[in-house]
Amino acid sequence: MAFTTTTPQNLTTFTTSSHKPKLPFSPSHSLTFPTHPNQTLTSRAISTAISTSTRIHSLFTPRATSSPSSSTTAAETTFHGLCYVVGDNIDTDQIIPAEYLTLVPSKPDEYEKLGTYALIGLPSSYATRFVEPGESKTKYTVVIAGANFGCGSSREHAPVALGASGAAAVVAESYARIFFRNSVATGEVYPLESEGRLCEECRTGDVVTIELKESKLINHTTGKEYALKSIGDAGPVIEAGGIFAYARKTGMIPSH
């Protein structure tokens, strides 16, 4: 459902607010985690996921950056910038080809390099590159996709590559369950679901704003506004930086 909204004037800068750095993760670690934003995330479920590993404290190495204020919640998060539009069935090989899986995200330099290859596997029909050659970051804050985004393998590198590139969120008609789970568990990008096919409503380069509190996307280029499905209880986990950071923040595991 779309309706007209007022287009802000003088949009010359594109910024992402409340999207903070995440903690690098272990590619070999597997988590049992809710697979849809409408599923309830309980303390017991998180505790069960964490207990699957006996190496909790060695899996994550916090990046040397400061954390946002603890008063910031996922419900208050807003993203603003350019969008990059893709179609249906974008698989993990297109998001990050297997040849780049040797990069270790827990190493800062390799994490950054991983981001330069985000969506490099898209076919030649996508004339505009998500990350321009020679650039270390993308200029697109939001990826807008069709159905079944992130299908294919279970590689956690897929959402990590998007997060490392500088993207803050993906808005898709639907997701492969494993991609949604990995996005929440790693805290790299917000996997948001649209009520309709925004990939047919928006174009690469459109200026958009996502307001999580109101579960909506505003396309300032076209002057239209779209409803999104609520991220639900997965939001605070992503905002914290992933499942382990959330568990530390809430006292489920020691913070040291």
Write the pLDDT tens digit of every residue in 138-167: 999 999 999 999 999 988 999 999 999 999
Q: Delineate the domains of the chain, giving CATH numbers in brackets.
A: 78-230 (3.20.19.10)
Angle between helices 108-116 and 157-165 (to 10 degrees): 90
pTM above 0.85, yes or no: no
Instruction: Give the span between the Cα atoms of 14 and 17, in whole angstroms.
Output: 10
Which structure tokens are listed for 93?
């090989």
Neighbours of 255 (CB within 10 A): 9
The predicted pLDDT at position 252 comes to: 86
Which structure tokens are listed for 15?
């910024």
On the 0-12 / 13-18 / 19+ scale of CB atoms within 10 A, 127 is exposed
The predicted pLDDT at position 210 comes to: 97
The predicted pLDDT at position 256 comes to: 66
The predicted pLDDT at position 253 comes to: 83
H-type alpha helices, the chain: 43-50, 56-59, 92-95, 108-116, 157-165, 177-186, 234-240, 243-249
The predicted pLDDT at position 254 comes to: 84
Low-confidence stretches of the chain (pLDDT < 70) are: 1-76, 256
Angle at 168 between CA 166 and CA 170, to 5 degrees: 120
Angle between helices 157-165 and 177-186 (to 10 degrees): 60
The predicted pLDDT at position 250 comes to: 86
- 231 by DSSP, 3-state: which? coil
Instruction: Give the span between the Cα atoms of 158 and 207, in whole angstroms.
Output: 24
**Percent of the chain, pLDDT > 90?**
64
